[in-house]
Amino acid sequence: MTASGDLHRLSVHEMAAALRSGAVTAVELTRQCLARIGMLDPGVHAFVAVDAEEALASAEKADRDFAGGVDRGPLQGVPYAAKDNFDVAGLRTRCNSRLLEDNVAQSDSACVAAMRAAGAVLIGKLAMTEFAYGGNTADVPFPPVRNPWHLDHMPGGSSSGPAAAVAAEFVPMALGSDTSSSVRGPAAYCGVVGLKPSFGRVTRRGVWPLSGTLDHCGVLTRTVRDAALALQVVAGFDPRDPASAAVPVEDYAGSVGAGLGGLRIAVPRGFFANAPGLCAHVLDAFEGVLDLLRRLGARVEDIRLPDYDLFDAAGRIILTAEAFALYEEALRDHGDAFGRDFYERVIPGLALGADDLVRAHEARVHLTRSLDEQVFARCDAMVCVTCLTAAPPFVAKAGALSINPTRTMPFSLTGHPALAMPMGFSDGMPTSLQIVAKRFDEAMIVRIGHRLEGELGPMMGARPGFHGGRPEGAPPAASFHAERTEHHAR
Amino acid sequence: MTAEADEFERRAVQRGICMPPDRRAAILKEHEALRMKAHLVRAWHGAGSAMAPALNRKASPAT
């Protein structure tokens, strides 16, 4: 157990144990989170709203429940935060858009409701890029999130706030959404664990949409076991999300601890090995992971898949077409209210025809089948890099987020579960491994990820140092503070 | 200005979408990138997809 001043360093799993042993109370954990956010977040900008009053009330309730013998599971009394596209009753859902300045949610999103029922303590709402597809330009309501490992470096997007908040030890877990990379990319850049479950595994009800057939909800944590604990709470069938799948939920936390002996792990080298811009440190770290998998008894084998570019093209066409269809009216009537990055990325959707979309969906079927038949018919999992590089510095364009060199789109397109986890460093910035499994076999990626983490150490045994200073073009750190208490008619 | 860009701007105007001068170049660049992706998928569909009708395959010079 750490000293009381270091409670923020505990994992979800450790907090759960400490709460049950009586070593700490939920109120103490919550106060520690709030204090740390107050002290450090003005330089990181992970939070857009902190609901201290409600958080402390939830924590007090959790403590009363413990005292009364009521135990709702491992998240009871544990602090977390949600990306600002998840509805929370009484709080604004703003998606970093000027159009949603007064958008107060009337009810909880299904994931937040599940977390509430599990006794988790919501600290506040987390920053994101505009509607989960913009950049960190200066023409959106909130300033760019900084990467806690180095404040001059990008945090990734769109779940920039969730990844930064977890890495900075403001909260041990966060809810995020992932349409093409938005949980895994930021998790990779910020050196944390990001789990995008299978399509249909976690309900999107009450989460602001971007692309109906690609949007996933996921979790970000500092350990793989914590990701399993969080997923356990939000996974399940929801008849009010048309994409939700009525597939039984496995015991994810129970799958940690199993060995890797005899597992067959596929490596799609064609996805990244010859890609322009692949960082040598990323490749070295990845080869180290493959050696580790072999030492742990797994059989590692290279496999061939269709070109990465085909996955990416089909995914981008579907994403852009669906986003344009969703936002066309607002883009037409309130174009000036959008930040330039979102506007510039979505408007091209108007030129896509029905034939383009049909072909992209046919490619999607083909590519999904390729993964199922060429990989998962004979292998238990697949590993590749999450990003070709570590987080780059902010570019000169006033803090804009350039396109990430992620390798995440294929599994958004096919709906296979994928987990990003730290695997090394490049010049002090984290690099990330991606583990993929059969659809609805999240237990397998948790099993593999946890075993690797046991060898590598959570977050590679390191902690962010908040190095660096103000990115060029970004507003000074002191110019923005998340609203400390935002509570509308709940 | 290519014919493609002209056609894109014409469609944008038709749908009431504004092309602000300071965003125009970036939008056209994104449009071109997306058009290339659509071309790639179209090429795959014509050349190798089992779902492409036989008629399309016969029409392809490659076959």
Nearest CB to B16 within list A316, A332, A366: A332
Query: Which one is catalytic: A58, A158, A180, A432?
Result: A158
Within 8 A of A309 by CB-CB distance, chain B residues are 40
**What's the pLDDT score for residue B1?**
59
Three-state DSSP class for residue A218: strand
Kindly state whether B10 is in contact with chain A, defined as any CB-CB distance less than 8 angstroms.
Answer: no
Chain B, 13 to 32: residues with Cβ < 8 Å from chain A are 15-20, 22-23, 26-27, 30-31
Tens of pLDDT, residue by residue over A145-167, are 999 999 999 999 999 999 999 99
Least Cα separation, residue A362 to chain B (angstroms): 7
Contact A122, A113 (CB under 8 A): no
Does residue A158 have an active-site annotation? yes
Nearest residue to A310 via CA among B36, B22, B5: B36
Close Cβ partners of A359 (under 8 Å, ≥ 6 residues apart): B38, B41, B42, B44, B45
Within 8 A of A137 by CB-CB distance, chain B residues are none
**What's the pLDDT score for residue A469?**
63
- 3-state class percentages of chain A: helix first, strand second, coil last, to nearest 5: 40, 15, 45
DSSP letter for each residue of A157-188: SSSHHHHHHHHTTS-SEEEEEESSSTTHHHHH
Q: Does ipTM surpass 0.90 in this model?
A: no
pTM here is 0.93
Residue A6 per-residue DSSP state? G
Tens of pLDDT, residue by residue over A426-479, are 999 999 999 999 999 999 999 999 999 999 988 888 999 998 764 444 444 433
Does residue A83 have an active-site annotation? yes
Flag if A343 and B23 touch (Cβ within 8 Å): yes
**What's the pLDDT score for residue A283?**
97
Nearest CB to B23 within list A344, A351, A362: A344
Within 8 A of B6 by CB-CB distance, chain A residues are none
**Residue B58 pLDDT level (bands cut at 50, 70, 90):** very low
Three-state DSSP class for residue A150: strand
**Residue A95 pLDDT level (bands cut at 50, 70, 90):** very high
